[in-house]
Amino acid sequence: MSSETLNTGGAFSQAKDLKNRILFTILILIIYRLGTYVPLSGIDPLALKEIMASSQKGLLGMFNMFSGGAVTRMAIFALGIMPYISSSIIVQLLTGVSDYFKNLKEQGEMGRKKITQITRYGTVLIACLQGYGVSVGLENAGNLVIEPGMAFRIFTTISLVAGTTFLMWLGEQITLRGVGNGISLIIFSGIVAEIPRALASTFELGRTGALSSLMIVGIFVLVIFTVLFIVFFERAMRKILINYPKRQVGNKMYGGESSHLPLKINTAGVIPAIFASALLLLPVTISNFGFAESDTFLKISSMFTQGQPLYMLLYASGIIFFSFFYTSIVFNPKETAENLRKYGGYIPGIRPGERTAEYIDSILIRLTTVGSLYLTFVCLMPEFLIAKYPIPFYLGGTSILIVVVVAMDTVTQVQTRLMSSQYESLIKKTKFGK
């Protein structure tokens, strides 16, 4: 067998594997979208349409966005993937404060599997609580439920928990066998699928006179500039110069090269926005469903609408907190400094070891501060516009941020796999070629 045949065969197999992964991801996302149209039983669709038409602002609108429109249709995926995200937040917070979870994290692969299992159990528990709250709320929402009672509550809760559990499994399958992060792609596909409807709604508002033509043009210009702004910050990074000393092995000299340690401005990616949204969505079951007749909860619910100070303050605080928290999880300056010292690398003018770790940490704090402010600006600025004008939620800053960042990360993963296959082909060609 010739080297060219080996090279071609390897490249073909790699390309086929990537193609299969992409097709598998698309198939899973199609299954997810079909599930958002499977309604819960025992609900009057006409009454549901009337209620949802007047309740698309604030937390309920955000809830509907993350579920891909399943809340509007009250489908089996109405809870979406948010219980899983809420459970992940709790587990990661416990990892930072609990010795038990710290020990699990240090155990490597076995510890990671245990943490994943605990996260799954937490997802089911949160989904049960939220599912029962939704079932009670549906019964309290006028004539929405055809035959209210305990049977309806139990069946609705089981259906919603099963839907969330199935979504969690679909997300894990995408991560393992597909391309990209499964959970992020599920949220991404839900938002993208509803964007055409949001655009149609915006043009309809222009036709009826609710929005002027100039305002519609301004909205789309703002969306374009927001996308460009996000791309710029997501690509921006600080490069720290790393030098490696020369060393002599026999008659040859090795080392003496320079490289860079790249630090992104937004190391946490889209996670802070998703986590902050998840925390805001935790009380939505109580405030919007379970106690719909209570004046107290109606007052609280009114505070969580777009443009309200409490809503904005909590959202911004959540984004900033999770930016720092998640960055501290995914990037460890001490570990990076130790690896540099182990391989002889050093930062010019900085002593290897602890001083290097402190230097990297100081730069990381400044970058994370800028990154958190950028995320807060992108997520909150369009919300004021949405609060003032009848613009669909899907054209807000959070949805645009998730779509752009997830799309960039997925494309990057595809490019990485393609480069990996090309690299392997090059190695084979160098090894076997003439």
Please report, in tens digits, the pLDDT of each residue of the chain (434 residues total).
444 444 444 555 666 778 888 899 999 999 998 888 888 888 877 777 776 665 555 556 666 666 767 777 788 888 888 888 888 888 888 877 777 877 887 777 788 888 888 989 999 998 898 888 888 877 777 677 778 888 888 898 899 999 999 999 999 899 888 888 888 888 888 888 877 877 777 777 777 777 777 877 887 888 888 889 889 988 888 888 888 776 655 566 555 677 888 888 888 888 888 888 777 776 655 554 444 455 665 566 666 666 677 778 888 898 999 899 888 888 888 888 888 888 778 888 888 888 888 998 999 999 999 999 999 988 887 766 666 666 665 566 778 888 888 888 888 888 887 777 666 666 665 554 44
Between the two ends of the chain, the Cα-to-Cα distance in Å is 14
Q: How high is the pLDDT of residue 285?
A: 52
**Backbone φ and ψ of 168, nearest 5°:** -60, -45
Q: How high is the pLDDT of residue 286?
A: 54
Residue 40 DSSP class? P
Quick check: pTM over 0.85?
no
Q: Please give the C-alpha separations between residue 159 and each of 41, 118, 331, in angstroms, as whole numbers.
A: 9, 22, 39
Q: How high is the pLDDT of residue 367?
A: 92
Distance of alpha carbon 132 from the chain centroid: 25
Helix (H) or strand (E) holding 247: strand 246-249
Domain locations in the chain as residue ranges? 3-432
Helix (H, G, I), strand (E, B) or coil at 249: strand
Superfamily of domain 3-432: SecY subunit domain (1.10.3370.10)
Gap between the Cα atoms of 89 and 331, Å rounded: 17
Q: How high is the pLDDT of residue 247?
A: 63
Residue 345 DSSP class? -
Closest CA to 223 of 77, 61, 398, 365: 398
Checking 363-366 for CB contacts under 8 A at 24+ apart, the result is 363/238, 363/240, 363/263, 364/263, 364/267, 364/327, 364/331, 364/333
Q: How high is the pLDDT of residue 243?
A: 82
Q: How high is the pLDDT of residue 372?
A: 92
Closest CA to 126 of 181, 182, 85: 85
Gap between the Cα atoms of 295 and 46, Å rounded: 26
Question: String of b and e for 162-198 (b: at least 16 CB within 10 Å)?
Answer: ebbbebbebbebbbeebbbbbbbbbbbbbbbbbeeeb
Gap between the Cα atoms of 298 and 159, Å rounded: 27
Gap between the Cα atoms of 272 and 328, Å rounded: 12
CB-based contact 226:72 (threshold 8 Å): no
